[in-house]
Amino acid sequence: MKKDEFAMYIKDILTPFDGISMRAMFGGYGIYQHGLMIALIAQRELYFKADAKNVDYFKAQGAEPFVYRGKRDKQITMSYYKILPDVLEDEEELKKWVNLAYGAALRGKKK
């Protein structure tokens, strides 16, 4: 599955959720709900937005953070956690991840 095919697959899975849109960015994609970024696709992986209120849930599920190499080969860890493959196939669990990520995006906007 090519990068764009994976993005379209994810877009199809998230279509039932209200207010979802997707935009290309930095070689990947940003996924938005009602204009707030809730997830990203990088290197054919889907990551959901985390913050202090939801990160423990994502970690408890076995999710790992999005990490990339920045300037001078410095490792950068972002507040997005990789979704587990089983979650994509479980509508109720996926809904929980989307809602948790949207909550984090809302809280981030208020800062």
Question: What pLDDT is stored for residue 17 in this prediction?
Answer: 95
**Exposed, middle or buried: residue 11 (CB in 10 Å: 0-12, 13-18, 19+)?**
middle
pLDDT above 80 for 2: no
Question: What pLDDT is stored for residue 68 in this prediction?
Answer: 87
> Please, what is the average pLDDT of the chain?
92
Q: What is the mean pLDDT of residues 16-42?
A: 94
Q: What is the mean pLDDT of residues 99-109?
A: 95
CATH topology of domain 3-110: Yope Regulator; Chain: A, (3.30.1460)
CA distances to 8, 17, 107 from 3, rounded to whole Å, are 9, 22, 30
Question: What pLDDT is stored for residue 7 in this prediction?
Answer: 92
Question: What pLDDT is stored for residue 111 in this prediction?
Answer: 61
Question: What pLDDT is stored for residue 72 in this prediction?
Answer: 85
Q: What is the mean pLDDT of residues 97-107?
A: 97
Q: What is the pLDDT of residues 31-79, one digit of tens each?
A: 999 999 999 999 899 999 999 999 999 999 999 999 988 888 889 889 9
Question: What pLDDT is stored for residue 109 in this prediction?
Answer: 86
The residue whose two tokens read 């076995």 is: 62
Both tokens of residue 64? 């790992």
Q: Would you mind telling me the total number of residues written for the chain in this entry?
A: 111
